[in-house]
Structure 1
Amino acid sequence: MSERLNAWPTLDYEDLAPTVDYVNRVVQVAGKYTLDEPFEVGWGNIVLDVTPRGLSTPTLRQRGVTFTVHYNLLDGGVVIEADSGSRTVPLSQGSVATFYASFCDAVDELGIHRPRSSLICEIPDSPPRFEDDNVERTWDGHAARLIWTAFNLAADGLEAWQAPFLGHHPRVGVMWGGFDLSATRYRAQPTVPPPHQPPFMQNAQLDAYVSVGFSLGDAESPNVGMYAYIWPQPDGLGGRSWGVEGAAWHPDAGLVRLPWATLRATADPHQAIVAFGDAVYDAAVETAGWPSDLVGPRVEGWYMSRTPPALVQHQHG
């Protein structure tokens, strides 16, 4: 029991908030490069991968140079790796403005163009641009490890939940604007986004989807844990069971929430994430007409390597 709880550590928003606030800003620097990529439904092109030591962009290709940017949270540095060489920019000292200037110098040396925008997005009361954020930051390596651990554990569960879905689903990853981990399932049903939202949010809501994710919280809503919602939001979500005792529908926020403390206290937190996601998809089937046959069998790869497809369908159909 104690070994499992240690693997799923206690997370307190107040303790993590300064580091989350800093990392959320600096991941947006390299995140801007993902906007140069072709748009995928629901912004699937922008997510950052959870790696063994931090967060990374996908492989990015500009004319004449191919590169990735890896936010090495466990070592406190950002590694820019290109076919033209590599550079490391420290996270452990200075301000966001200092980091941004050092980052731009590093990419110049590698023949990579600077990010096309320096706007800081989706962070209320933030200075408008990276070069304007001169608040001195103190790097907290322990908090950074907790952030990575949480993303890593949640990603493991969400990838298991996503695996059998037969429809369009971008890879599980961190949306660098809101700094939340996202696993989303789509179906080809055009929807009408609310007109008052900014363009990037309207473009996220062009088709129906089910989203399950993990958030470290923010100042307005310091809720660390899993969340989920269905777009467009159907009626009939109140009073449902959400697969894990303690998960609940919050109508004011339009979210189903599973607090981290509740999740880590379950007998199997990894399986609880899968059960939570399955319950959300079941709600989409029952309240919003989503097809139940878009979910295939959930089996491990070695089973599939030695089992005839017809038998798999017979056993799990």
Structure 2
Amino acid sequence: MTWRTSQQVEIWPRLRVVDWVETRDTLHMWTQIVGKIRLAHAPMVNHWWQVTFYVTPRGLTTSAIPYRTGAFDIEFDFVDHRLLIRVNNGSRRVLTLEPKPVARFYAETMGALGELGIQTRIHPRPNEVDPAIPFADDYRHASYDPHAARLFWGQLLWASRAFEEFRSRFVGKASPVHVFWGSMDLACTRFSGRPAPPHPPGGVPNLPNRVTREAYSAEMSSCGFWPGGGKEGAFYAYAYPEPAGFADCPVRPAEASYQRESGEFVLPYEAVATAADPDRVLSEFLHCTYEATAELGGWNRAALEADSNLWEHH
């Protein structure tokens, strides 16, 4: 089979936030709707890992969601620009990803589930945004640029490859590489194995305190990619709780900096995309921010990190 060049994903694609912010914000609301459907049916997993999306060769998927005696999944396909709902009995529904208000996307998605015999009730307004317009009333967000959506998926695809490599070097408790629809960011988190102090209430708009308490219930070093916070998005890394001296640690590459308002190190996406070796630059950022957390926080690194000789041989 000949690989179709037109379908190849650009390596570390470029996408200015200002060029797709309306599409980004609409897509954010669409992903919240689908994510809440997964939340309604998936069994609880620590840190809310059961609600996330995963990057696929075509877009983003919920993975299999249990329902009664079977299962279904929902995938955003950013190659053919479709939303696919598939049930284990072979039935399916396909919705077109195109410019449409959130209210219409919400009605179409819930209607398609009903046609498939899947009864679902969700909290019908978004989280982690302000204002939180109810989905059924949201006609403000109605943009969809297919080219921008595809480029964003390409950003997630290449970032997730780097994060998977980074995750493989840790043998302690670690999250999957997944996308949280609340903040619309790709993330991967490592844990020390110790509990964390209760997360202070507030700080995240339209999000119950019980959610953040569970999310930050254990000591962690987290990294991710967010399609905001810079000209082309940004990579980030933070620690919870933040150990003394973390903000003053020298971090590589030189383009990375500590943002005191958000309490995290930030590396502009464009600094990675334009580098001679983007994977090496991002890996350097991920490893040195983790090492700062682990050293200053007194983590048992010998027990938590993989044998480098074994991994290099593999």
Where do 1:145-294 residues align within 5 Å?
A: 145-197=150-202, 198-217=209-228, 224-293=233-302, 294=304
- Deviation of the 1:298 alpha carbon: 5.1
Unaligned runs of 5+ in 1: 1-5, 305-317
Supply the AA of the counterpart residue of 2:112: A
- Deviation of the 1:303 alpha carbon: 4.3
Supply the AA of the counterpart residue of 1:94: K
Determine the C-alpha separation between the residues in 2 that align with 1:88 and 1:300.
45
Determine the C-alpha separation between the residues in 2 that align with 1:300 and 1:56.
32
- Deviation of the 1:301 alpha carbon: 7.8
Supply the AA of the counterpart residue of 1:266: A
Cα displacement string for residues 43-83 of structure 1 (whole angstroms, at most 9, x for unaligned residues): 22222011111100021111033111001123222000112
Cα displacement string for residues 283-307 of structure 1 (whole angstroms, at most 9, x for unaligned residues): 0122111122211145798944xxx
Where do 1:31-46 residues align within 5 Å?
A: 31-35=35-39, 36-46=41-51
Q: CA RMSD in A?
A: 2.1
2:138 is aligned to: 133
Runs of 4 or more, structure 1, over 6 Å off, are 299-302
TM-score (normalizing by structure 2): 0.88
Question: Aligned residues, how many?
Answer: 296
Contact kept, 8 Å, 2:192 with 2:300, in 1: the verdict is no
Structure 1 pair 10–223 and aligned structure 2 pair: CA distance change class (3 A): closer
Supply the AA of the counterpart residue of 1:48: F
Supply the AA of the counterpart residue of 2:283: V
Structure 1 pair 299–120 and aligned structure 2 pair: CA distance change class (3 A): farther
Q: Does 1:77 align with 2:86?
A: no
Supply the AA of the counterpart residue of 1:177: G
Provide the identity percentage.
Answer: 29
Determine the C-alpha separation between the residues in 1 that align with 2:24 and 2:109.
19
SS in 1 for 2:122: coil
Structure 1 pair 301–253 and aligned structure 2 pair: CA distance change class (3 A): closer
1:296 is aligned to: 306
1:17 is aligned to: 21
Contact kept, 8 Å, 1:74 with 1:144, in 2: the verdict is no
Unaligned runs of 5+ in 2: 1-9, 203-208
1:64 is aligned to: 69
SS in 1 for 2:155: helix
Supply the AA of the counterpart residue of 1:96: V
Structure 1 pair 208–54 and aligned structure 2 pair: CA distance change class (3 A): same
TM-score (normalizing by structure 1): 0.87
Determine the C-alpha separation between the residues in 2 that align with 1:158 and 1:152.
10
Supply the AA of the counterpart residue of 1:122: E
